[in-house]
Amino acid sequence: MSPASARAPTLRSVGQAAQPKGLVGRFFGAVMARLNHEMNLFTLEQLDVHPGESLLEIGFGPGRLIAALSERVGNGKVCGADHSDTMVRQALARNRTVARAGRVVLCLANVSRLPFASGCFDRACAVNSFQFWPAPKEDLQELRRVLKPGGLLALTLRQGAGSSAFALGHLAEPSRLPEALRTLAAAGFRDLRAETRRLRHVTAACVLARA
């Protein structure tokens, strides 16, 4: 097998992780739902959601955190933006009842151009997606635009592959925490702090910041 052929599965895996498509994308959605479960719970804990609030998740994938957020927010509203049509369909299927009731709205959209009014969300989050954002500083400024003044952002990142057998490309990258902190400050966020926790497969860092 040539070196290029040996690298191909990893490159394809990273591409599917960034933007799942088709049958393989649906499989990746199922895998992400399992691998990101603990990171989702960690993020939910740090967000400290209250009933009646309006929430936004960027890169919601298979929609497992969306479901948990909709339970916590009660009569509030949960919105999501993901640039994968495959993930939008999967997440809508998972959240069909609350979506039909209008309590969950999931959009096919890129973080660089969010289809929401300025200052409409109390809290926002993104789990294991920051490494795929096309223009991190500008994307964070766009996210800050849709948050209310003082709104809370939780940006959760993998810190390493740990003992996981699923070290596919982006899971083996070095820590993104320093880059995330610098970029958040450059994008105008304040009161930055990071909470780190050792999970089953990885160490996760949740960066919290105020708009």
- CATH number for the domain formed by residue range(s) 3-210: 3.40.50.150
pLDDT at 43: 97
Task: State the pLDDT confidence band at 206, using cuts at 50, 70 and 90.
Answer: very high
On average, the pLDDT of the chain sits at: 83
Q: What CA–CA distance (Å, rounded) separates 140 from 207?
A: 13
Domain ranges (residues) in the chain:
3-210
pLDDT tens, position by position, 20-48 = 454 444 544 455 556 678 999 999 999 99
